Amino acid sequence: MIKVIKHHWGIILYLAFYFFITAYKFINFQTPFYDWDEGIYAQVGREMINKLSLTPLWQGQVWLDKPPLVPLFYGLIGRLPFASELSMRFATLGLSLLVLGLIYVFYYRITKNKSIAFLTVIFTSFIPLFVQRSQVLNVDVFLLLGWMGYIVFFPHFWWSLFFLAVGVLSKSLLGFYPAMMLLGYQVWKKLIAKDKKTANNIKSILTQIIIILSWYLIMLFIYKQDFIRAHFLESHLKRVTSSIESHFGQRTFYFDELFNQLGLIKWLLPLGIIFIFIDFFKKKKNIFYLLFFVPWFLFLNLTKTKITWYLYVIIPQFAFISAYSINLFRK
């Protein structure tokens, strides 16, 4: 542990700095829950705790649109002897710091470059959407935590299963993204080179997916058609095939919003992409991991519903591509 701290003291100090700056804002500029997300997750969580329910409840009625993890988490935090607005937002901040830590670990692991990993964290943490989501009750931070945790802890079955559960039980089918990506990658590797480790990885991923799917089977058994209609048809399918809640935009909506969020660092993207492909063709780096979240961004552009915070989970990807441009200064 001491060796790790000495080797990565910069990121530890930065995360501490980020925490204290945000905590200062929470304490000195307290505000009530002010938007739909904050209000509904706080209220659903309270009702779940009060009724001792593992199924989300809204005004006493079963709410099948979302999985239970996020409101249950905030409901438990709300039982602490502090103002709910403070305790729940501090909890979100804590999760955001954990996400930043996992981002650092992941990109350091695939690049072996502390500067790139550190710069990725700095870029990510100052992008307006990340700043905003780290200070309010929301489901997106849980999804990104699940995604990052899964790929970082993929070699460890139970830890990766835990993070897969976090992703799925917070954002449902979207939580399977890293598992499906890695499953496809492992199958592709097995077709090229039949190695025992790859076969074992495929078995592990499939086992994890089957375990998590048991939640859907339980919900189907209990709520039957109501669960299918509310959870799959209205909450998932409609967001892909039609614009919901007046969230619509032009075809380039997500590209425009991404460039707006990235600000000045968007000008580093072309250089970062060039160096990524240079390293790929020189066989120095595995492009699958370097561009792990890009397919999700491309899929977003095919959906009909246009919501800015859907970009939250791919912010680290484009922060990393921008940070990769510092290869210009390598020897």
124 and 6 in one domain?
A: yes
Residue 303 main-chain phi, psi, to 5 deg: -80, 155
* CA 97/CA 145 separation, integer angstroms: 10
- Residue 245's SS3 state is coil
Q: Is residue 41 part of a domain?
A: yes
Residue 331, pLDDT above cutoff 60: no
Q: Is residue 209 part of a domain?
A: no
Residue with tokens 């009625």: 61
- Asked whether 159 and 153 are in contact (CB, 8 A), the reply is yes
Question: What tens digit of pLDDT does each residue of 276-315 get?
Answer: 999 888 877 788 999 999 999 999 998 877 888 999 999 9
- Which CA distances in Å does 251 have to 243, 248, 255, 297? 12, 9, 9, 13
Element (DSSP H or E) covering residue 293: none
Residues 6+ apart with CB under 8 A from 312: 129, 130, 133, 140, 141, 143, 144
130 and 4 in one domain?
A: yes
- Asked whether 76 and 45 are in contact (CB, 8 A), the reply is yes
* CA 60/CA 245 separation, integer angstroms: 23
Residue 57 main-chain phi, psi, to 5 deg: -125, 135
Q: Which of 172, 176, 103 is nearest to 323 (CA)?
A: 103
Out of 108, 138, 168, pick the residue that ends a domain.
138
* CA 322/CA 276 separation, integer angstroms: 10
Out of 138, 158, 180, pick the residue that ends a domain.
138
Q: Is residue 200 part of a domain?
A: no
Q: Which structural domain, as residue segments, surrounds residue 31? A: 1-138
Percent of the chain residues past pLDDT 90, beyond the cut: 65
Residue 246, pLDDT above cutoff 50: no
Question: What tens digit of pLDDT does each residue of 217-243 get?
Answer: 999 999 988 888 888 887 767 766 655
128 and 253 in one domain?
A: no
Q: Is residue 146 part of a domain?
A: no
Q: Is residue 88 part of a domain?
A: yes
Out of 117, 138, 159, pick the residue that ends a domain.
138
> Residues in the chain, how many?
331
Q: Is residue 153 part of a domain?
A: no
pLDDT reported for residue 1: 57
* CA 240/CA 73 separation, integer angstroms: 28
Domain count, the chain: 2
Residue 252, pLDDT above cutoff 90: no
Residue 2, pLDDT above cutoff 70: no
Q: Is residue 197 part of a domain?
A: no
DSSP code string of 92-105: HHHHHHHHHHHHHH
- Residue 194's SS3 state is coil
- Asked whether 76 and 49 are in contact (CB, 8 A), the reply is yes
Residue with tokens 């989300």: 56
* CA 303/CA 247 separation, integer angstroms: 11
Residue with tokens 């089957």: 210
Q: Is residue 305 part of a domain?
A: yes
Beta bridge partners of 62: 57
Phi-psi region of 113 (alpha: psi -120 to 50; beta: other; left: phi over 0): beta
In sign, the C-alpha dihedral spanning 240, 245, 249, 254 is: negative
Question: What tens digit of pLDDT does each residue of 190-218 get?
Answer: 888 666 788 899 999 999 999 999 999 99
